[in-house]
Every structure is written in C-alpha cells, then in structure tokens.
Structure 1
Amino acid sequence: MNIKTQFENVGDALIIRELLRQIVSRSELTVDVSRCPDVFRTSIGVAELPNTSVQSAGFVSIALSMLRDRLRGDTPYYFLIPGGINGEKTLKQYLVGQANTLALSVLSLIGTRVCQTGVSYEALGDRHKRLLRARLKHFHRAMVRDAISLAYAGKHGIRADGIVPDLAFCLAPMTEAGTARNRVAFSFRADKSAATRDLLASRVIDICRHVSPDADLLFVVQVARDAPFMSDLKRQVEATLGRPVGYVECYTDIDACRRLYTSCTHLFSNRLHGLLLALCSGAKPVAVIDPVLDPKIVGVFAQIGRNDLVLDANNMSTDAMVTALQEPFEQHWDEERQQLQRFFDDLYGISATQATAPL
C-alpha cells in the first residue's frame, strides 16, 4: 500500500488506519509512507502494526516486492486509498493518472490483486470518468460504501462490484468511564460553495440558541483547512449569543478526537467522518448539509437507516432543530462491523473458523 491523501484530515487518517488494521489481521503488510509527514504516521499508528514492513522508497520498491512474491508463488494484494472520489482532472492529472493505470495493469497482469473499498463517487468530470473506467478494469475488487454511489457508478459506466460499509464502522464501541456528556459539538467545512459559508453560520447560530444553557458549546476542527471558518464562527456565536464557545483542533489525533466526543451529547456537522466518529463514540451525529453538495453523507446515513439524522440546511425548521437536540439517541453498528469482517475474510479466502479478531 502506498499512502497519499489529505494528511491534515482526521477522517482520512481514520479510514486508512482501519484499512491497515484489517489487512494486518489477515496477512503481512508492506506500506510506503514516503509522502506522509511524521504526525500522520503517528496518527495511523503504522509503527505499532504487527506483520508490517514500513518503507519510504516509493511505489517502484513496492511493485518489485510484489513481483518477488509472485515468483515465490504467493498472491500479493495492493490496496488503493479509500475515501470520496469527485471532481475533474486537469490534462496533466489525467496523463499522470493514465501512467498510474498502466502501472496497475502491469501489477494485475503479474497476478497482484488490486483492490479498493470504502469509496464514494460524486460530481465527476468527463476526464475523471474515462480514467476510472479504464483503471477499474484491472481491479480484483472495486467496492463503494453506499447505494447512491453504486447507482452513480452504474449510470456513468464505472465499475462497482457492490456495497461495503464505510471503514469507520470497523471501530469498536468506545466509552470513557465516568465521563459526563455535557457538551454539544459543531464541526463544519465551508469550502464547497461561497454561499454555504453564510448559510451554515446562520444555521449554527440558530441551533446554538436552542442548546440548553447548562450545556457547553464546543467547536471542533477535524480538517486543518476548516480552522479559519470555525474560528470565525466561534467569534460570531460568542458575539451574537453572549455565551462562551470552546474550540479544539484535533485533526492529527484520531483517538483524542474520539475521546472528545465521549464528552458530547451531539455533533452537528457536514464532515462525514466527524459524524461517524461521533456516532462510534456515543454522541448523536446530526448532519446539517446541502444534499446536492454532500451526497456521500446522504448515502452513508441512508445505508445505516438513519435518514432522520440528516437535516437539509436550505430548509431547516426550528422544529427540526429542537427535535434533533431533544430526541434520545441510540445506534449500534454491529451489523456494519460484521459486514466489513466478512468482506475482508472473503477477499482473503478466510473461512469463519480461520478468522481472527481485527486490531
């Protein structure tokens, strides 16, 4: 596996860490971290993984390692990074992508099983679609994380073999003994549309008006580029409502972020993995989104049967806010965890009696 992603994004770190943990519970792993800053390597815990060779020599070294495996009669697997796939490619990016596709085709030709899971598709440009159509022909498995992505892929002739839950659902339940839940948290991005910034600020202020005065307000930054918006929003809420707002940046530490959410009753957000981290930490995740701009959130929440936790920021009533704050919350994700275990066991040809517990 060769890691390249948004390195100041706790959500990306989370799904990559969980993918690595699934792999090492079933096979040996060689992972290249040549492009990863030290803080990201620490966040995903790569140095502590068993059965793992960590290198910084680049893709060619990994490819040669897989060739040696094939010559010994072994079947190597090569996993691509999970996450959202969207947007258009520039001509330069398209040509680089074609070269990468050629490399993947060679890996497939020598018997490497190229795999990807935990992805969603939205708003792809024409070049990007052509690139994906060509690339996915060489994959052993190509899985998406929700039905909306599956339908989108089918509509545009992009291969998708089925649905496997988001890798965040690999997380085991986490509670901090004795921790009082007395915070309502907020974590937002505002980089998808200029109009989104003012709308989200207005919605957050409205929600904060209805939060009990006994609860603390907490603004959380899970992706570094969200910090300017969230810090400005903190000042707006304090100036408008006259109540203090806590502020935490936790985009470099997955477990610190989870511990933070164990002190929260709610998280209002338009960050998918912020919402899933909150869910897996016992806080109620309430998505406040533009459904057109955030179909992956709509899709993943529909997949777990929780459309009721998705609020349209364009048409959000006071009743909806109050209901989100007052209705009790309980969510189990045992079925999603089991689906993920079955997928990886099947991928590696492991029977139920051979399976071992993931990390």
Structure 2
Amino acid sequence: MSERAPHQRVLRAIFVPARGQYDNIGDILLRRQLLDWLRASGPLHVYVGDAPDGYAQGLGLGPDDVQYRSFGRWYTAALLSAARGRASYVFKPGEIQLTLTGMKEHLAMLPVLALVRARHGRVARIGVGSRNFSPLPRALMGPSIALSNVSFWRDAATAGYLGQGGIMPDLAFASTGAGSNGADTNGTAGRDVLVVSMRSDLDYPSAAWLAGVRAVAADNGLEIWCVTQVLRDDDKCGQLAVDLGGQTLRWNGTAHDEQEQRLRALYRRAALAVSDRLHVLVGALTEGAVPAALLVDAKSDKIARHFAAAGLHDVSIASSGLSAAEITGRLQNLLGRRAAILAGLAQAQGELQTVRRLLDQVLTTESVR
C-alpha cells in the first residue's frame, strides 16, 4: 500500500482581474467579496484597468495588495511569477458574454494559465455565470475550463451549458449586512421604506405596475424611495420617483464606496425592494429587505436563475398582463414570506462559506514529495 504524501500550505501570488462596469456598484460587490476571500490564500496582484478612483476604493484594496492599471505590466508579472512557480490565477466573478469580445479574458489568459499549471500553480473560477448559450463560444471556453483546478458557476443553466464544475450562490449573497440576520426576522417593524430601482435599457413600467407598487406601499405604511445603483439608470430613477410619488437617492457616478453605504443604509430601512437589477435585489436582501423582481420584460430569467442557485424561489413576478390589484397581491405575498426568505439567505451564506474553504484549500495545499 502506497503511503499518502503529506501536505503543506503554500501561499503563491494570486493574479486576479477586478475590472468591471465602472458605473455599476453591483460589480464591486462581487469583486470585493472574492478579493476578501483570497487574501488568506496569498498576496494579491489585482488588475483594475482604467477604473475611476471611486471604483478602486470600493473594491477595498489594501496596502498589501499590488494594484495594476496597465494590463501589459500585470500580464508580464503574471508570466514571470508563473515561470518561477509562484503564481496562481483566479478569474473574476460575474456575468460573461460568450462572444469574442466578452471572452477575451478566457482566451488571452490561456498562456498564463498553461504556465501556471505547468509550474504547479492553481487556477480557479468562482461565481461566474453566462449571459448566452450558443455552441461555438462553449467550444472556445473548453481549454480555459480544462486548465482550471476548480470551477463554480453561479446558476444551474451555466453549469449545464459549460459543465466541469459545481453550482454556488452568487458571491454578493455572502455579504453580511447589518439587517440580514438580526432581530425582527418575522416581521417588518422598524422598516418604513419600499425601494425601487429599474433598468434603463428596458421598457418603462406600465400604469398597472406603478399603481400596484403605490398600493402596496400605502397598505404597509412604506415610503417609496427610488435609488440609483447603476449610473445609467439614474434618469429613470428620477422619473419613477415622480410617477410613484416617492423620494430619490441618486448618484453622479463618483465615490462608489460612499454611494454603496448610502444605499445600504436605506436598504436597512426597507421592508421591500422592487427591481429588475439582480444585485439591487441581492444587496437589499443582505440588509434584510424582501426582494421582489417585478419584471417588465418577462423574457429574462436571469434573476430567477440566480436566486434559485441560492435556494430562493418565486421572487420573480412577470407583471405583463397583471392588474394593479394582482401586482399588489403578489408583492404582499412576498412580504409575508420574509422569515422564510431570510432563512434561505442564511443557508446560502453557509454554502458560500463552504466554497470559500474549498477555494482556500485548492489554492494553498500542495503535496510534499
């Protein structure tokens, strides 16, 4: 019988891109969470590109994190470190568009990945989801996936499409907001706000949609606040506030970390968050608000897929064809499920901690020969 090799903990430099949509605080939520996870596993070398200062600050980078604005310098550093056997690579989390443009990280980094693996480094992909599901991009993704030691997808459709990996809740669910696990898990006492945030690239909500939201707010004594978490939605935020008779928390696109804290403070007051933005709903949920995906575009299943991966179902409402009274009833039903929804969040956060421990083990454990 062969004797198993002992193991030792090895901390390699971890190269990770943290670029994203710089006008989208949701991208910060994902990337900051991953960076926080990774620090215990090795020194971070983070590519932020031409990110504005507010975005970089929102990532929570510390003095020990090596930050790169130049892709060339970051890429060269990764190659040199990999050649010395001192590098690992972790893909950025979030949504990928499986087009040639959207896949540039997965294709351009192949030489780095191959060298990392050849020199006994590790490659990980955590919390990634696909926007589209055509056959050719799947084939192009094959080498990148094959070079990964571990892959965790953030929804079942992506896992079924790309394979070779597990399913995990979206990283933004891992946030431990002050309102997500404290007192009042069975009711909404102390919560006097209904938050609204809608995408600017979809149709404007119908009269029935607006009336239904106004009615559920009135029935529960809630103030309506329309908020901007993605800068391009700001004009729509202002118009919704006018039509809903609500107040606004708008944003000029700077000081991302400050805007996130303003949003979180409001989410901690919210009984209900109505949005078609995934990370508005997740961010509000982690602060204790009930998420309601009151969709204008019924064709999209993105929110339902990602909440289902976290064990949370039936938070999406296709509003087309519903009367104001029916919309109010659906929203009221979600409010009545608050305790169960928060319990589901706690379970999802437990699953995420399991993924975190596995990721650390993959990145740091090495057999001693």
TM-score exceeds 0.5: yes
- The separation in 2 between residues aligned to 1:143 and 1:166, in whole angstroms, is 10
User: Percentage identity across aligned positions?
Assistant: 22
8 Å contact from structure 1 (residues 143, 162) kept in 2: yes
- The separation in 1 between residues aligned to 2:96 and 2:322, in whole angstroms, is 28
- The separation in 1 between residues aligned to 2:46 and 2:112, in whole angstroms, is 17
The more displaced of 169-178 and 126-135 is 169-178
Deviation at 1:282, TM superposition (A): 0.7
Deviation at 1:63, TM superposition (A): 4.6
8 Å contact from structure 2 (residues 228, 251) kept in 1: yes
- The counterpart of 1:117, out of the listed 123, 126, 145, is 126
1:218-260 per-position Cα deviation (integer Å, ceiling 9, x unaligned): 10111111112222333333xxxxx343343386233332112
Return closer, same or farther for 1:304/1:346 CA change in 2, 3 Å cut-off: closer
- The counterpart of 1:248, out of the listed 250, 257, 273, is 250
1:182 to 2:189 alignment: no
The more displaced of 112-121 and 286-295 is 286-295
- The counterpart of 1:141, out of the listed 128, 138, 150, is 150
8 Å contact from structure 2 (residues 168, 310) kept in 1: no
Give the aligned partner of residue 55 of structure 1. Answer: 68
After TM superposition, the structure 1 = structure 2 runs for residues 35-114 of structure 1, keeping only pairs within 5 Å, are 35-47=50-62, 51-65=64-78, 67-68=80-81, 71=84, 74=86, 76-86=87-97, 88-89=99-100, 98-114=107-123
- The counterpart of 1:231, out of the listed 230, 234, 238, is 238
After TM superposition, the structure 1 = structure 2 runs for residues 1-359 of structure 1, keeping only pairs within 5 Å, are 1-47=16-62, 51-65=64-78, 67-68=80-81, 71=84, 74=86, 76-86=87-97, 88-89=99-100, 98-125=107-134, 127-151=136-160, 153=161, 158-175=162-179, 180-191=190-201, 196-199=202-205, 202-212=208-218, 214-237=221-244, 243-249=245-251, 252-253=256-257, 254-289=260-295, 293-316=299-322, 318-325=325-332, 326-327=335-336, 329-330=338-339, 331-332=342-343, 333-349=345-361
Deviation at 1:124, TM superposition (A): 3.6
Deviation at 1:265, TM superposition (A): 1.0
Return closer, same or farther for 1:87/1:136 CA change in 2, 3 Å cut-off: closer
Return closer, same or farther for 1:89/1:96 CA change in 2, 3 Å cut-off: same
1:270-314 per-position Cα deviation (integer Å, ceiling 9, x unaligned): 111111111110111111226764323111222333323221123
8 Å contact from structure 1 (residues 148, 295) kept in 2: no
Deviation at 1:142, TM superposition (A): 1.9
8 Å contact from structure 1 (residues 173, 281) kept in 2: yes
Give the aligned partner of residue 355 of structure 1. Answer: none
Letter paired with 1:19 = L
- The separation in 1 between residues aligned to 2:104 and 2:250, in whole angstroms, is 40
Give the aligned partner of residue 356 of structure 1. Answer: none
8 Å contact from structure 1 (residues 148, 296) kept in 2: no
- The separation in 2 between residues aligned to 1:83 and 1:95, in whole angstroms, is 14
- The separation in 1 between residues aligned to 2:22 and 2:308, in whole angstroms, is 28
Deviation at 1:101, TM superposition (A): 3.4
Deviation at 1:121, TM superposition (A): 1.8
Q: What TM-score results when the alignment is normalised by the length of structure 1? A: 0.80
Return closer, same or farther for 1:143/1:97 CA change in 2, 3 Å cut-off: closer
Deviation at 1:30, TM superposition (A): 1.8
The more displaced of 290-299 and 339-348 is 290-299
Letter paired with 2:225 = L
1:207-226 per-position Cα deviation (integer Å, ceiling 9, x unaligned): 22332174211101111111
Structure 2: 5+ residue stretches without partners: 1-15, 184-188, 363-369
Give the aligned partner of residue 5 of structure 2. Answer: none
8 Å contact from structure 2 (residues 82, 116) kept in 1: no
Return closer, same or farther for 1:32/1:85 CA change in 2, 3 Å cut-off: closer
Q: What TM-score results when the alignment is normalised by the length of structure 2? A: 0.78
* Length, aligned pairs only: 331
Deviation at 1:160, TM superposition (A): 3.8
